[in-house]
Homo-oligomer: A and B are copies of this chain.
Amino acid sequence: MNPISFVKSLIKISKGKPQIPKSLENNELLKIIYKRRSVRKFEDIEIPKDVLDAIIEAGRLAPSTVNLQPWSFAVLDKKEWRELFNKPLPFNANKAVIILGDVHRVLKVIPVAQNCPIVKYTLAVMNASLAAQNMNIAAEALGVASVMLSDTGTGGFFHAEYLKNKLNLPTDVFPLMTIVFGYPKGEYPPMPPKLPVEEITFKNQYKEPNDSILQDWIKQMHAGFKVTNPFSSFQAKLNYYTSNLERAEKELKRMIFGDKN
């Protein structure tokens, strides 16, 4: 990207602030929801048990389809993570929660959907993700920052088989993401480039994306990534994913449909 377009993109990013209506800008919870960022620098401070418990509780109390609660959470501290994965918890985070979509449990008492792999998978992924975001917000409310790992630490659905083996997961339990928690070190990072609200909303008929908005956004993604990751690039990240796509697809397919596929 040429320097001028790079700087232009940075300026646009810096303008991308949360849009809190004036009338509501004193709502404390709204402020916390809006100010949450994915943080990748943590202090070497222990998260007390009551604080971690309160975060997990937010996951436990999340809403779910027909209240089926199709989720499980693997809760690990630094030491347990290192023992299980033979590597340190990324970003010097203090605790990790691996979010799993889990219909294995509910099928034991409600034996339906056995032959509907995609219904099962959708139910699990959708609801476990609701619980995950409840934990992210609860943590933020307690001054604890978090980031959801995808490729870093091979903690997400992109490494389904690795996690299934490590955690000894049965059929119908699906690894989704790892949330790592800790007390933030230094300032929060700026908000990454968000698509404008008019681009992601419509009324009653799907609205095709606006090319110039998209081109603008992708430039900001490249520029913003460079600033927060000076030694990497957005393109490098995309290349990593691209080179792992086929493997991940095969693993997910096996996980959802069984070995016959």
In-complex Cβ contact of A63 among B54, B127, B136, B193 (8 A): B136
Q: Known contacts being A67-B193, A105-B209, A192-B67, is A30 close to B56, with CB within 8 Å?
A: no
User: What are 10 A-B contacts with C-beta separation under 8 Å?
Assistant: A27-B141, A29-B138, A71-B200, A74-B206, A76-B204, A109-B214, A112-B241, A118-B249, A125-B125, A126-B129
Q: By CB atoms of chain B within 10 A, which of A56, A72, A130, A137 has the most?
A: A137
Contacts of A169 in B (CB 8 A): 206
Mark A residues whose CB is within 8 Å of B: 18-21, 23-24, 27-30, 32-34, 36, 38, 50-51, 53-54, 56-58, 60-63, 65-67, 69, 71-76, 80, 83-84, 102, 104-105, 108-110, 112-113, 115-119, 122, 125-127, 129-134, 136-138, 140-142, 147-148, 150, 156-158, 166-170, 173, 176-177, 191-195, 197, 199-206, 208-209, 211, 214-215, 217-218, 221, 237-238, 241-242, 245-246, 248-249, 252-253, 256
Q: Known contacts being A126-B129, A203-B75, A205-B167, is A57 close to B69, with CB within 8 Å?
A: no
Contacts of A246 in B (CB 8 A): 115-116
In-complex Cβ contact of A54 among B20, B200, B241 (8 A): B20
- In Å, the complex CA distance between A195 and B127 comes to 14
A33 contacts B137, C-beta separation under 8 Å: yes
B197 contacts A60, C-beta separation under 8 Å: yes
B173 contacts A206, C-beta separation under 8 Å: yes
In-complex Cβ contact of A138 among B33, B108, B211 (8 A): B33
A194 contacts B60, C-beta separation under 8 Å: yes
A249 contacts B33, C-beta separation under 8 Å: no
Contacts of A20 in B (CB 8 A): 54, 57
In-complex Cβ contact of A61 among B18, B110, B112, B217 (8 A): B18
- In Å, the complex CA distance between A28 and B102 comes to 30
- Extra contacts, 18 of them, besides A65-B156, A69-B194, A122-B176 (Cβ < 8 A), are A20-B54, A21-B51, A28-B29, A29-B141, A33-B137, A72-B202, A72-B206, A74-B202, A102-B200, A105-B195, A109-B218, A113-B241, A113-B242, A116-B245, A116-B246, A118-B253, A126-B177, A133-B134
A83 contacts B204, C-beta separation under 8 Å: yes
Minimum CB distance partner of A158 in chain B: B119
A29 contacts B32, C-beta separation under 8 Å: yes
Contacts of A51 in B (CB 8 A): 21, 24
